Structure 1
Amino acid sequence: MRLTRGTALVAAASLALVGIAGTATAAPSVPSAAEDAAGGRIDRAAVQKALDDVVALGAQGVQVRLTDGRQQLTARAGTAERGSSRPVPLNGRYRVGSITKTFVSVVVLQLVGEGKAELDQPISRHLPGLLPDGDRITVRMLLQHTSGLHDYTTDLFADLADFQTLRWRTWQPSELVALSTAKPLDFEPGSRWSYSNTNYVVLGELIAKLTGRPYGDAVERRVLKPLGLRDTSVPGTRVDIPGPHAHGYLRYAPDEFTDATRLNPSMAHAAGEMISTTADTDRFVAALLGGELLKPALLAEMLRTSELSPDYGLGVERVDVPCGQVAHGHSGGIPGYSSMMISSGDTRKRLELSVTTGPDLRGQPDEALRVLLTEVFC
């Protein structure tokens, strides 16, 4: 399975590295009459056990939404907060991390479709002077992580002990880009693939230049409002998560950890700042792959991989699920939260997941994730 290769905004918060946070209790959801009548094939008991296993390995809590044809199931495990018995909200909001990139890619491709940019055009055409090598880096390279730009987050979070200070700072996109360009390119543009959050910070600036407004305004106008995604937001510098949500935690020193729920998401910008729910990301991925957001030729470009980038299209990951099927989506992480959004090409089978992390690592939930994928896709 190619699920989390490079997709976490911060390695400590990646989907495969969830930490433990005290004793957690399972709180399965009850299927509605509509779900029962659908006669779907998803085994609720197997799903619940997988979620309980994720908690046992280190999550504070987890929520999941699974779709198989007409059947949709939601389930949860763990608790919403340390020291509380309150269950994880079944449709609570969470920081989606790098799933933000898929929203950003949609907007960029829409602008390409409108003739305002070209995929194989140097980024310097629109953002002169932002990148020292901007004449050699194209929009496509940024979307597909083949630009060679150094990932600024490897420096920003080189020492997690700095998190307590960094979490409140407001970062300008130009500052994040400068962290990257202070280092040489990791490789010649277009010669290799390497995941870099810097690429999408630059793409956020491209959207702002082409639309005359912050990139988040374009995401809201072009994606959120048309799809009715009322629980999804681009928070900018707002430190709180609005509405019901579970808390995530981060250990930043051997004997110290913190509730990482409140932070200034400008540290992630267009690479990973958005907040959503499993219901909204489910609607988004179904609309995207169902052709509601992009014309067929542009959607094909988005999903197309290459020998250079076999697992990543333009803001979308290719996911090889256990039974040999291929799905598409994105995973993401930001301190306190790890997430996943996956759909089959025909959108009949979908999975959205949010894990709230705890401060201590006990293992990787690979088997639990395999069970969830098998239940939906196999």
Structure 2
Amino acid sequence: MRRTPSRRPFAAALLVASVLVPVSVVPATAVPAAAAPARHGTDDCPEHGKGHGHGHGLGPELTARLDKAIEDVRREAGIPGAVVGLWMPGKGSYVRATGVADTATGRPMTRDMYVRIGSETKTFTVTALLELVDAGRVGLDDPIADYVDGVPGGSGITLRNLAEMRSGLYPYTFDPDFQHDLLSDPSRSFTPEELLAYGYQHANTADPGEEFQYSNTNLVLLGLVIEKVSGRPLAEFIHRRVLRPAGLRHTLFPGDATFPEPHPRGYTDQTLTGETTDATDWNPSWAWAAGAMISDLHDLRSWAKTVATGTLLSPRTQAERLKTLPTGIPGTRYGLGIFETGGWIGHNGSIPGYETVTVYLPEEKATLVVMINTDITVDGQEPSSLLARAVTEIATPDHVYDRPFPQN
């Protein structure tokens, strides 16, 4: 847990990861059908396969500039391995894997790897919630107290407040006891109730709707709402109602340390000593609905457009999702489980060992995906954000990605 301003609190980091545990009654479990399907390349997805090439290029000059910028950031930020994909209809695409997936063996990073996507899980959880809104099963302005007992001030906190990070509930990942318990035993499995209890020890930080505060507590509660209303474990509901309709065959919601092959080793300094360690097999249950999911480049590319354009939702509900509000940080606004920065819409993720960025630029119908195998910050900045910024400064200079607030 990051403990100083220059190193985001693990709570914050966990925040990025969006970690949550299974819902009250039933633990979230990986859906077998989503485990690790065989890979099949497609004509429009040049990123599949193990090479380091660029797919359908953006031209030699732009490609060379992107190559240099990515490699410069990777080396300066100490990122072991990175995969970057940029697709710009009418102009071409760029897909690059660089560095190593394993610092001990030197095994190279490849484009077909699975990674833990941390807080990008929030986009799946909120999409699931919004599908229930479309079905008339829940209302965005319903109080959380209608669904979950014991929430401090729950009668005045709406589902909308939770999804837009304006509930005022204390982030459980900021709690010192939680940080100690997780880092003392990263293999431990947490329940949603256990996670919420850490946060409930503290007074609410603001009145509902008053202030933006990124908090995994909000998503754990939304996960519980989905389970209660649907009558299904969160992982199962997301698989059936989100992943399957979206055609995401390489995305899963594990209930333990499950991690399909191939995947890179992941490195973090979120430890009790502050030393760097291998977090590949840490149990992500602490992030649950906020950050426990796994995906790959192919699926994240597809998901970016699905989220930004709302293909799984009614136009009215998608419009609600895209009503972004200021975060207090210049250039970054937050909607319902989604942010907008420099015109890019989507989310990033950070969980010990891994970071990702998955965003879509409606103005150019462009998609950017970044996947790396470390979450170690550089001067307080997440390395995935440094890569995304460097790429967009070159490829879309009028729309530079700049997401400055840490999210674990």
TM-score range, shorter chain: 0.7 to 0.9
Structure 2: tracts of 5 or more residues without a match:
1-7, 18-49, 398-408
Matched, 1:136 2:156: yes
Structure 1: tracts of 5 or more residues without a match:
1-5, 16-26, 321-325
State how far apart, in whole Å, the 2-side matches of 1:328 and 1:360 are.
23
**Which of 302, 312, 323 is 1:304 aligned to?**
323
Measured after TM superposition, the shift of residue 159 of structure 1 is 5.2
Corresponding residue SS for 1:67: strand
Q: CA RMSD in A?
A: 2.8
State how far apart, in whole Å, the 2-side matches of 1:240 and 1:357 are.
18
Corresponding residue SS for 2:154: coil
**Which amino acid is 1:96 matched to?**
I
Partner of 2:295: 276
Measured after TM superposition, the shift of residue 215 of structure 1 is 1.2
**Which of 36, 48, 52 is 1:29 aligned to?**
52
Partner of 2:367: 350
Partner of 1:266: 285
Aligned-residue identity in percent: 34
**Which amino acid is 1:350 matched to?**
T
1:10–1:247 distance in 2 versus 1, CA, 3 Å: farther
- Do the aligned partners of 2:74 and 2:82 also contact (CA within 8 Å) in 1? yes
Measured after TM superposition, the shift of residue 7 of structure 1 is 11
**Which of 40, 59, 64 is 2:84 aligned to?**
64
Q: Which moved more, 1:284-293 or 1:165-174?
A: 284-293
Give CA deviations for 1:235-273 in whole Å, capped at 9, x if unaligned. Answer: 012x13112111111232557432101011111010100
Corresponding residue SS for 2:347: strand
Measured after TM superposition, the shift of residue 368 of structure 1 is 4.3
- Do the aligned partners of 2:11 and 2:175 also contact (CA within 8 Å) in 1? no
Matched, 1:112 2:133: yes
- Do the aligned partners of 1:13 and 1:336 also contact (CA within 8 Å) in 2? no
Measured after TM superposition, the shift of residue 148 of structure 1 is 0.4
- Do the aligned partners of 2:285 and 2:292 also contact (CA within 8 Å) in 1? yes
> If the length of structure 1 is used for normalisation, what is the TM-score?
0.84
- Do the aligned partners of 2:11 and 2:172 also contact (CA within 8 Å) in 1? no
1:358–1:351 distance in 2 versus 1, CA, 3 Å: closer
Matched, 1:148 2:171: no
State how far apart, in whole Å, the 2-side matches of 1:31 and 1:77 are.
11
Matches within 5 A, 1:30-109: 30-32=53-55, 35-36=56-57, 43-56=62-75, 57-70=77-90, 71-109=92-130
Measured after TM superposition, the shift of residue 191 of structure 1 is 1.3
Partner of 2:261: 243
Aligned residues, how many?
350
**Which of 11, 14, 22 is 2:13 aligned to?**
11
Q: Which moved more, 1:51-60 or 1:305-314?
A: 305-314
State how far apart, in whole Å, the 1-side matches of 2:105 and 2:202 are.
45
- Do the aligned partners of 1:317 and 1:329 also contact (CA within 8 Å) in 2? yes
Partner of 2:42: none
**Which of 323, 337, 340 is 1:315 aligned to?**
337
Measured after TM superposition, the shift of residue 10 of structure 1 is 4.5
Measured after TM superposition, the shift of residue 360 of structure 1 is 8.6
- Do the aligned partners of 1:61 and 1:76 also contact (CA within 8 Å) in 2? yes
Partner of 1:126: 147
- Do the aligned partners of 1:8 and 1:332 also contact (CA within 8 Å) in 2? no
Give CA deviations for 1:63-102 in whole Å, capped at 9, x if unaligned. Answer: 1111111423210221001122221121211110000001
- Do the aligned partners of 1:61 and 1:80 also contact (CA within 8 Å) in 2? yes
Give CA deviations for 1:11-44 in whole Å, capped at 9, x if unaligned. Answer: 38979xxxxxxxxxxx982234xx15xx669822
Corresponding residue SS for 1:177: helix
- Do the aligned partners of 2:183 and 2:272 also contact (CA within 8 Å) in 1? no
Matches within 5 A, 1:283-298: 283-298=302-317
**Which amino acid is 1:68 matched to?**
M
Matched, 1:230 2:230: no
- Do the aligned partners of 1:58 and 1:363 also contact (CA within 8 Å) in 2? no
1:64–1:31 distance in 2 versus 1, CA, 3 Å: closer
> If the length of structure 2 is used for normalisation, what is the TM-score?
0.79
1:81–1:189 distance in 2 versus 1, CA, 3 Å: same
State how far apart, in whole Å, the 2-side matches of 1:69 and 1:199 are.
36
Corresponding residue SS for 2:281: coil
State how far apart, in whole Å, the 2-side matches of 1:168 and 1:257 are.
17
Partner of 2:46: none
**Which of 333, 343, 358 is 1:341 aligned to?**
358
- Do the aligned partners of 2:83 and 2:371 also contact (CA within 8 Å) in 1? yes
Corresponding residue SS for 2:98: strand
State how far apart, in whole Å, the 2-side matches of 1:250 and 1:308 are.
27
